[in-house]
């Protein structure tokens, strides 16, 4: 879990992401005009809903939610929400980007592939709506069409499907 800022003509907006580390899939994201706790709490609720909707609800005690030591992630409201969902919180050390390197990499890709280009939006990002629209397109592309070398040149969605398919194989008669 992490977030970044995006400059628009209307001022800064903030984009938070939740990534499933196993498949490198972005399971939820949120755009907001402030860095309040809701910036990171909304995608947590979305991720829990999405996994439940896919038939893969969070099993209490089996998931670790790792974030940096930002005030949003250390807030009582957010940590209570993690505990209520059965997610073990994990907080990195202050001013250490290395323990959150995967999220920093994804955010770097987001900034390079989405924010700094016009592939997912036409013209400059003027409003929070522009950022939401561009982010939605980029996340869809990242999860469903972008090939990842660390996943054997598969997309995160393909990698995840292949994993669950091997777990749910029907036994074949001998």
- Tell me if 76 is assigned to some domain: yes
Residue with tokens 């949003």: 72
Q: What region does 147 belong to: left with phi over 0, alpha with psi -120 to 50, or beta?
A: beta
Count of domains observed in the chain: 1
Q: Global pTM?
A: 0.90
Q: Answer yes or no: is 174 within a domain.
A: no
pLDDT in tens, 159-168: 999 999 998 7
SS3 content of the chain, % helix, strand, coil (to 5): 45, 20, 35
Element (H, E) at 129: helix 128-144
pLDDT in tens, 7-43: 999 999 999 999 999 999 999 999 999 999 999 999 9
Report if residue 45 sits inside a domain: yes
Domain span holding position 158: 2-167
Tokens of 136: 């939605």
Asked if residue 104 is part of any domain, the answer here is: yes
């Amino acid at each position: 879990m992490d977030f970044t800022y995006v400059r628009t003509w209307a001022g800064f907006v903030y984009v938070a992401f939740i990534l499933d580390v196993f498949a490198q899939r972005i399971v939820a994201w949120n755009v907001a005009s402030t860095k309040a706790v809701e910036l990171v709490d909304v995608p947590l609720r979305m991720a829990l809903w999405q996994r439940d909707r896919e038939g893969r609800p969070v099993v209490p005690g089996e998931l670790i939610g790792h974030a940096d030591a930002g005030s949003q992630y250390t807030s009582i409201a957010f940590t209570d929400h993690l505990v209520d969902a059965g997610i073990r919180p994990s907080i990195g050390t202050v001013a250490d980007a290395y323990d959150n390197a995967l999220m920093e990499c994804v955010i770097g890709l987001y900034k390079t592939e989405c924010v700094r280009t016009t592939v997912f939006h036409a013209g400059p990002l003027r409003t929070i709506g522009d950022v939401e629209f561009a982010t939605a397109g980029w996340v869809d592309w990242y999860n469903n069409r972008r090939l990842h070398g660390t996943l054997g040149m598969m997309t995160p969605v393909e990698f995840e499907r292949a994993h669950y398919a091997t777990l749910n194989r029907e036994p074949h008669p001998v």
